[in-house]
Amino acid sequence: MNAPSSRSPLAPVRSWPEELRDRYRAAGLWTDETFDEFVTDRTTRFADNLAVVGKDAHGNDHRWTYRDLAAQAEHAAGVLSGVGVREGDRVIVALPNVVEFAAFIAGCFRLGALPVFAQPGHREAELTQFCLLADAAALVVCGDTDGHDHLALTARVGELVQGRGGVPAAVVDVQDLPVAATEFVLPKPRPDDIAFLQLSGGTTGISKLIPARTPTTSTRCGRRQTSATSAPPRGCWWCSLPGTTSR
């Protein structure tokens, strides 16, 4: 049994009017499938298909099947649980385009935690603000991304958070993950729960955190984009921008 979260609960967020939600569901624009259900279904149905191609945090090449992705997501969820992340907690993910990014985003959904899509180029000002606003339970980084010492960065962020009355997030370095991960209890999120926190454009200062629900966001966007581009079932998506970008 997971211990209860020590973090503040998510503030209430107004949803769409019921009549609009019913209309969008009836039109097939919204779905009640949660992100974890989406990932679990696809990694089961397409287990042997290629899912992720890329380098890991150490620069090694990988070609993960959907079965591999499911296993990596389960491990990532266990790692987060091991550092104290619980259902409903927020996790700042500030990773470059390494395969661990896919594992930890899916791992957050598996655990029922809310990923906050930070950028690998964010530094003290942005990460401190995000940690404080989200009351983040964990901060996931890649130790020496592009030659920058992100562990030293997270130490400074922790000091700044504590100095402003917050509780520093646990740091997870994807270059130094444990082989064994903590077991955890599967959550039961509702489709209308907040699924993640996305960053605003930042044109008026440090980016704000935008709550997003499952039916209204990425599962819909992903399906529509796939349909619009006529992507074949075994087609590939080349992620040239940071995976956390909202545009």
**Each residue of 62-113: pLDDT tens digit?**
999 999 999 999 999 999 999 999 999 999 999 999 999 999 999 999 999 9
Cα torsion 176, 133, 78, 120: sign: negative
* Domain around 149: 23-228
Residue 38 has pLDDT above 80, yes or no: yes
Q: Is residue 179 part of a domain?
A: yes
Report in angstroms the alpha-carbon separations of 206 from 141, 154, 191, 199, 203. Answer: 19, 18, 30, 9, 8
Q: Please give the Cα distance from 180 to 213 (Å, whole number).
A: 31
233 located within any domain = no
Report the alpha-carbon distance of residue 190 to residue 34 in Å, rounded: 7
In a domain? residue 95? yes
Which residue(s) pair with 222 in the sheet?
Answer: none
Q: Which two tokens stand for residue 95?
A: 């990773």
Give the Cα separation of 134 and 163 in Å (integer): 16
Domain count, the chain: 1
Residue 14 included in any domain: no
Give domain status of residue 190, yes or no: yes
Q: Cα–Cα distance between 162 and 160 in angstroms, integer?
A: 5
Q: What are 205's two structure tokens?
A: 């200062």
Pick from 6, 3, 10, 171: nearest CA to 95? 171
pLDDT given for residue 228 in this prediction: 45
Q: Tell me how far apart the alpha carbons of residues 139 and 29 are, in angstroms, rounded to a whole number.
A: 33
Q: Does the pLDDT value for residue 221 go beyond 90? A: no
Residue count of the chain: 247
- State the pLDDT confidence band at 4, using cuts at 50, 70 and 90: confident
Bigger pLDDT: 62 vs 202: 62
At residue 160, the 3 state secondary structure works out as helix
Q: What is the pLDDT of residue 233?
A: 62
Q: How far apart are CA 13 and CA 173, in angstroms?
A: 31
Strand partners, 54: 62
Confidence (pTM): 0.88
Residue 35, domain CATH: 3.40.50.980
Higher pLDDT, 65 or 239: 65
137: nearest Cα among 184, 192, 88, 209: 88
Which stretch of 37-46, 105-114, 189-198 has the lowest confidence by average pLDDT? Answer: 189-198
CA distances from 196 to 19, 66, 100 (A): 24, 22, 18
Local confidence band at 156 (pLDDT 50, 70, 90 cut-offs): very high
- In the structure, what pLDDT confidence band is assigned to residue 217 with cuts at 50, 70 and 90? low
Q: Name 93's bridge partners.
A: 117, 140
CA angle 109, 10, 222 (to 5 degrees): 35
**11 inside domain:** no
**Is residue 141 domain-resident?**
yes
- Let me know if residue 242 belongs to a domain: no
Which tops the pLDDT comparison, 167 or 218?
A: 167
Averaged pLDDT score across all residues of the chain: 86
